[in-house]
Each structure stands twice: as structure tokens, then as C-alpha cells.
Amino acid sequence: MLKVFVYGTLQPGEVNFPRYCQSHGPQVTPALIPGQLYHLPVGYPALVPGSGWVEGCLLSFADGAVLEKLDELEDYQPGRSPAENEYQRVKALIYADPQTILTEAWVYVMTPQKIAQLGGVPFVGSRWCGLPTVG
């Protein structure tokens, strides 16, 4: 089973969930990860491991093939230097609450250098939500 923690546009109800995740029928579990969120001017968040808590969802997929599409979306290529990737895909402990570990899962994080390069600013709060589109 493939497990991925998501905290931005891949969460249920956000813009990229239907396109990248929904058809794969993931089991969705509310979850937490230690870290700090940053808001990027391009309209999505970035996560840096740290001492605060970030709310999101643990997505559990029966088919691991979805990981290739997620890597593509997150501009991550295994073996490419961190400076060339937008996000880094790493294994991390995922929590049900601050005292209870759920599992280990993949999560996409961003280096502080990449956040600075993209003009990111610290996000106030622990749960990111995209703004509704107007149109």
C-alpha cells in the first residue's frame, strides 16, 4: 500500500485531488505532521520539517503507480539534485494527534532555499486551504 501525506492542493476538496488522486480511490485519514507551512505567491503551500504541527490527510492507495504522477505534479525527480527539484519527496512519521504515530508515509517538502527563491512567507495556522476560484 502506498501512503502519502498531503497538506495542499492534493487534499480532498482541493483543486488537484480529483485529477491526481480521486480515480485511484484512496483511503483518506485526517492526520498531522511536524513542520511549518509557507504560502507561495504561485498559489500553493510548501512544508518544511519543524517543531510546529501541520494538518492534512494521509492518502493510502492500493496501487503505487500513482506516485509517478504525483512526482510529476510536484516537480520531483528521484536522483536529480535538490536545487533542480521544486519539492523533495521524503519519508516521514505521520501522526493521528501530537502523541500518537499513525504510520510512515511519503511527503513532499521544500528546501528553505527554494521557498526563498519562490518568495514564500510563513503561513499563519496549521491547515492550508486553497481560495475558491472565481469565474
* pLDDT at residue 135 tops 50: no
Q: What percent of the chain has pLDDT over 70?
A: 96
Q: Does residue 40 fall inside a structural domain?
A: yes
| Nearest alpha carbon to residue 67 among 23, 22, 20 | 20
Q: Does residue 57 fall inside a structural domain?
A: yes
* Host domain of residue 24: 2-122
Mean pLDDT, residues 24-53:
95
Q: Does residue 19 fall inside a structural domain?
A: yes
Q: Does residue 22 fall inside a structural domain?
A: yes
**pTM for this prediction:** 0.94
Confidence of residue 131 (pLDDT cuts 50, 70, 90): low
Mean pLDDT, residues 120-134:
80
* pLDDT at residue 130 tops 60: yes
Q: Does residue 128 fall inside a structural domain?
A: no
The pLDDT value recorded for residue 120 is 95
pLDDT digits (tens, 9 = 90+) for 77-111: 999 998 999 999 999 999 999 999 999 999 999 99
Q: Does residue 135 fall inside a structural domain?
A: no
Provide the number of structural domains found in the chain.
1
Q: Does residue 129 fall inside a structural domain?
A: no
Q: Does residue 127 fall inside a structural domain?
A: no
Q: What is the mean pLDDT of the chain?
A: 94
Q: What is d(CA 100, CA 64) in angstroms, rounded to the nearest whole number?
A: 26
Q: Which helix (H) or strand (E) holds 67?
A: helix 66-73
Q: Residue 74 sits in a domain of what CATH number?
A: 3.10.490.10
Measured between its terminal Cα atoms, the distance across the chain in Å is 38
